[in-house]
Amino acid sequence: MTHTQFEATAPAERTRLVRLRSLLPGLVLCLVAAGASYGLGLLLPGVSPLIIAIVLGVLLANAVRMPATASAGIDFSAKKLLRAGIVFLGLQLVLTDIRDLGTPILLAVACIVTGGLLGTVLLGRLLGVPPGLSLLIACGFSVCGAAAVAGAAGVTDPDDEAEEDTVTAVALVVIFGTLMIPLVPLAANLLGLGGESAGMWAGGAIHEIAQVVATGGVIGGGALTAAVVVKLARVLLLAPVVATLSVRQRRLSRTAEPGRQTSRGKLPPIVPLFVAGFLAMVLLRSFVPLPEAALTTGRLLQTGLLAAAMFGLGCGVKIRNLIEVGVRPFVLAALSTLLVATLAYVGIVLAS
């Protein structure tokens, strides 16, 4: 390297070091919280480390004043680590398992996601909930919880101007998805559903994978396997949903005022990088015989990254601000939960 080249690259290296140093305190805090959440999850069977992480974040942010030096790393974890976690989520999906559900169940899953998305957005409009928040709630409740909220926010709000909407939607996913854990087994029993059918209903109705696993464990029998496979079929639809939202955002950006469009930066890609990574992992798991050690490592990375991100998102939840959003988002979340659960029940009963 010549002296001139060295002088040109030195400022860039210093900039990267400064950036890394600014991220380090918050990043370490989130990773430590993820480790603590994982440990607590081992001590509390049936409780997801992701739920523990977001609760820890909420408690910490509302109990103490977070140091300013941690804010950059916390923000990085809540956005970038979450998208990295979505990539490793793809290792949970095997296309043959989803194919084996059969065409009727797969059609039911497609109707659950499509009907949940469109119905929740319409309900949000009727209730007067802001469109951006309605869309994030629709994605989180219809597809796969916090990961879907983050994926949708990444393309509909690329400049992170409505971060509060993301935090609110994730908080609602945690609240209402957790309420479903005892309610679905109780309702399945009252409706006379067998173990496998009840498990498929849980997989079609509940927001987060961890909440689905907890519910399948409560139902017992063959419910857990059925619940997880149906839920993973919903997760697979994350990719086309995000791609569709990205195309929509590009069209909206093109029709915006020229000055405003320029200020908001470049258009989002049709297929965001983390979605492409997610699909690559799905294909890798489906067509390459991966050793168990690789799968275990992938699960640990997925859990650790998502738990760190959930802690970061939890740190952004101020109870005062959550109260100030009013009752309408909570009503929308309750109606969306009921809508998705109803669609799932009808679909599973008709397909079985």
- For the chain, the domains span 25-351
Q: Which helix (H) or strand (E) holds 36?
A: helix 3-43
Residue entry with tokens 């987060």: 208
Token readout for 26 is 């918050």
Query: What is the average per-residue pLDDT within 120-133?
Result: 94
Of 93, 99, 63, 42, residue with least CA distance to 285: 93
From the CB of residue 220, how many other CB atoms can be counted at a distance below 10 Å? Answer: 12
The 3-state DSSP class for residue 340 equals helix
> Is pLDDT of 291 > 60?
yes
Q: For residue 71, with 0-12 CB atoms within 10 Å meaning exposed, 13-18 middle and 19 or more buried, which class applies?
A: middle
Q: Is the pLDDT of residue 59 over 50?
A: yes
Task: Specify which of 88-92, 97-101, 253-257, 329-333 reaches the highest per-range mean pLDDT.
Answer: 329-333
- pLDDT value of residue 333: 95
Give residue 142's pLDDT.
93
Q: Is the dihedral of CA 147, 150, 152, 155 positive or negative?
A: negative
What does the angle CA 286 – CA 102 – CA 142 come to, to the nearest 5 degrees? 80
What was the pLDDT predicted at 347?
A: 93
Q: What number is the average pLDDT over the span 305-318?
A: 83
- Lowest average pLDDT, out of 74-88, 160-174, 189-203, 288-302, goes to 160-174
pLDDT tens-digit map of 64-104: 888 888 888 888 888 788 888 888 888 888 889 888 889 99
- Residues 246, 271 contacting (CB under 8 angstroms): yes
Its sign, for the CA torsion 134, 333, 126, 236, is: positive
More confident site: 352 or 308: 308
Q: What is the mean pLDDT of residues 135-153?
A: 88
Q: Is the pLDDT of residue 23 over 90?
A: no
Distance of CA 61 to the CA centre of its chain: 21
pLDDT of residue 6: 46
Sign of CA dihedral 314, 142, 242, 97: positive
Question: What is the pLDDT confidence band of residue 232, given thresholds at 50, 70 and 90?
Answer: confident
| pTM given for the model | 0.77
Q: Name the DSSP class of 282.
A: H
Amino acid at the residue 257: E
From the number of C-beta atoms within 10 Å of its C-beta (0-12, 13-18, 19+), residue 97 rates as middle
The pLDDT tens digits of the residues spanning 10-20 come to: 566 777 777 78
Separation between Cα atoms, residue 98 and residue 161, nearest integer Å: 37
Q: Per-residue pLDDT for 239 more than 60?
A: yes
Residues near 15 by beta carbon (within 8 Å), at least 6 away in sequence: none
Q: How many CB atoms lie within 10 A of CB 308?
A: 31
